[in-house]
């Protein structure tokens, strides 16, 4: 799989309507990539993603576009102020 194909697969997994947030493990399972490959893709897609930490799962990810769609303006603002979401 090429770098572009990996990035596209990760982007598609992050945009999956079944999930608001995705873990590296979940993305890897959906895409068939290794966790290391998913991490590399996420690093390349850094400008397109939002990340936070779940107390039960650890670091989780979504796209900025998807985050804007599912999270209210009030919660996005509070999360940004508190540093909870990057």
Domain ranges of the chain: 3-81
Supply the pTM of this predicted model. Answer: 0.80
Other CB atoms within 10 A of residue 76 CB: 14
Give the fold, CATH level 3, of 3-81. Arc Repressor Mutant, subunit A (1.10.10)
- Tens-place pLDDT, residues 57-79: 999 999 999 888 876 666 656 56
- Tens-place pLDDT, residues 33-56: 999 999 999 999 999 999 988 889
Report the C-alpha dihedral over residues 7, 11, 13, 17, rounded to 10 degrees.
-170
Q: Give the model's confidence band at 85: pLDDT under 50 very low, under 70 low, under 90 confident, else very high.
A: low
**Crossing angle for the helix pair 3-14 and 35-44, nearest 10 degrees?**
90
Examine the pLDDT at 7 and tell me if it is beyond 90: yes
Residue with tokens 């992050």: 14
- pLDDT on residue 53: 87
> Are the C-beta atoms of residues 34 and 42 closer than 8 Å to each other?
no
């Amino acid at each position: 799989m090429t770098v572009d194909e990996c990035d596209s697969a990760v982007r598609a997994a992050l945009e999956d309507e079944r999930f608001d947030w995705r873990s590296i493990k979940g993305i890897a399972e959906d895409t068939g990539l290794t966790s290391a490959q998913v991490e590399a893709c996420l690093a390349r897609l850094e400008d397109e993603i939002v990340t936070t930490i779940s107390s039960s799962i650890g670091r989780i990810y979504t796209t900025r576009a998807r985050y804007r769609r599912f999270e209210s303006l009030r919660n996005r603002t509070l999360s940004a102020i508190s540093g909870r979401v990057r």
